[in-house]
Amino acid sequence: DILANSGGVTVSYFEWVQNKQGFKWSLDMVTERADRIMTEAFEKVYGVSQKYNISLRIAAYVVAIDKVAQTYKYRGGY
């Protein structure tokens, strides 16, 4: 459910970007970009799920927390 909801958030982000840039992407462009992002996200979550023998839901949290931690570290947080 977490990964599925992120698809809607992703497409909403695309809409925001289009509005900021002042132009409209084609349906094919939106579909291709969303598909690529969601496929990569699923592969990461599924890989963590298999590696640690945990549910996809918990794996999604692990991936998300790791991404936040890496960003924080990159920006000099610790």
Per-residue pLDDT of the chain (78 residues; tens, 9 = 90+): 888 899 999 999 999 999 999 989 999 999 999 999 999 999 999 999 999 999 999 999 999 999 999 999 888 866
Give the residue extent of every domain in the chain: 2-74
Instruction: Report the C-alpha dihedral over residues 28, 21, 10, 24, rounded to 10 degrees.
Output: -30
Q: Which two tokens stand for residue 44?
A: 């990461």
pTM score: 0.82
